[in-house]
Amino acid sequence: MIDEGARLSLLDRSRTRVGEPDAAALVGTAERAARAEQLGFARFWVAEHHGVPGVAGAAPAVLLAALAARTSTIRLGSAGVMLPHHQPLVVAEQFATLAAFAPGRVDLGLGRSPGFTPPVRRALRETERDFPADLAELRAFLTGSADITLHPRPVAPVPLHLLATGSGLEVAAGLGMPVIVGGPILGVGGDPEPGLAALARYRRTFRPSEQQPEPRISVSLDVLVADTAAEAADLLLPEAWAMARARTEGAFPPLEPVAAVRAARRSARQQQYLEQTAATAIAGTPEQVGSRLAELLDRTGAAELVASSSTFDRAALAASDAALAALFASP
């Protein structure tokens, strides 16, 4: 049984779909955020990707402004703004502006992933940056401790979160920041011990900050719920196939319908990647998903689940979101 204190949120990357314009992905994100609020999700996160055919979410601050206008209670955050692509002052100004329109509802998740391809990295003018120093500078702007006074001044605190694995966990611990972790560190479909050791180091070396007096972990992975395990497995196929193609073809493509994925010719290597990606997700009936999530949250000590689910069928995705929310609803 999932602990009553666990929080539930969604991460929507504005995934594009075959046969649709990119704008449809952004509209779909806005509609999903409104539904998430009605379903009782605690937060709704959006991402930052550049030059990726399968993702329309490139400008988190702009997209969050649109979501703020369409919601009234759910918290809204970036997961995340890739800080090496931006000046800390500009990011602070953007999120302070967002906080003026949605006071007490804005979260700033940060990461440092590079551009997907060399041309994208050149277009972003990527250079070597001191990431911990940039984080500290950004926090100083938002808390009012920098040499420059931020305008607009935040009307409510804008909590910072770090998308972290490996050395990122060390940075977060040193700066007293909560973390959002995903991928191999969760041990879903693999060995959980290395990830547990990394999370234990984060907790052990955590330095309390004004924002965060104690360590806080959120876990992020694909979660899909359906009436049967077979239906849930089908929902995983579009995202898993896109990931397999990205790893073998060098471009992350739009989502395809399940039937198209089943009919696609693929190499043994692509089949292997597809199966590996599906294995790192949690999918099944409500009972199956609830049991696996309870185990994951208990094992990692996570305070929040960030479900980064996506599939081609929007109606099936909406039904999955509703079923997932029901698992976290108070009895």
pLDDT of 260: 98
Q: Where are the domains of the chain?
A: 7-224+290-328
pLDDT of 116: 66
pLDDT of 45: 98
For residue 126, pLDDT over 70 is answered with no
Question: Tens digit of pLDDT for each residue in 224-273?
Answer: 999 999 999 999 999 999 999 999 998 899 999 999 999 999 999 999 99
Burial 147-164 (b: 16+ CB within 10 A, else e): eeebeeebeeebbbbbbb
For residue 115, pLDDT over 70 is answered with no
Of 117 and 254, the one with more pLDDT: 254
For residue 134, pLDDT over 90 is answered with yes
Q: In which band, very low, low, confident or very high, does the pLDDT at 143 lie, cut at 50, 70 and 90?
A: very high
| Average pLDDT score over residue span 92-113 | 95
Query: Percentage of the chain with pLDDT > 90?
Result: 83
pLDDT of 330: 66
CATH code of the domain occupying 7-224+290-328? 3.20.20.30
Query: Percentage of the chain with pLDDT > 70?
Result: 97
Mean pLDDT of all residues belonging to the chain:
94
d(CA 36, CA 30): 10
Q: CB-based contacts of 298: which residues, under 8 Å, 6+ apart? A: 3
User: Helix 88-101 and helix 60-70: axis angle, to 10°?
Assistant: 10
Question: Tens digit of pLDDT for each residue in 29-62?
Answer: 999 999 999 999 999 999 999 999 999 999 999 9
Cβ atoms of 94 and 152 closer than 8 Å: no
| Average pLDDT score over residue span 301-315 | 97
d(CA 204, CA 186): 18
- For residue 283, give both structure tokens: 């999918």
Q: In which band, very low, low, confident or very high, does the pLDDT at 331 lie, cut at 50, 70 and 90?
A: low
| Average pLDDT score over residue span 124-149 | 88
Of 250 and 295, the one with more pLDDT: 295
Type and span of the H or E element at 179: strand 179-182
Q: In which band, very low, low, confident or very high, does the pLDDT at 125 lie, cut at 50, 70 and 90?
A: confident
DSSP secondary structure code for residue 149 in this structure: P
3-state secondary structure of 309: coil
| Average pLDDT score over residue span 270-289 | 96
User: How far from 328 is each of 2, 281, 323, 331, CA to CA, in Å?
Assistant: 7, 18, 9, 9
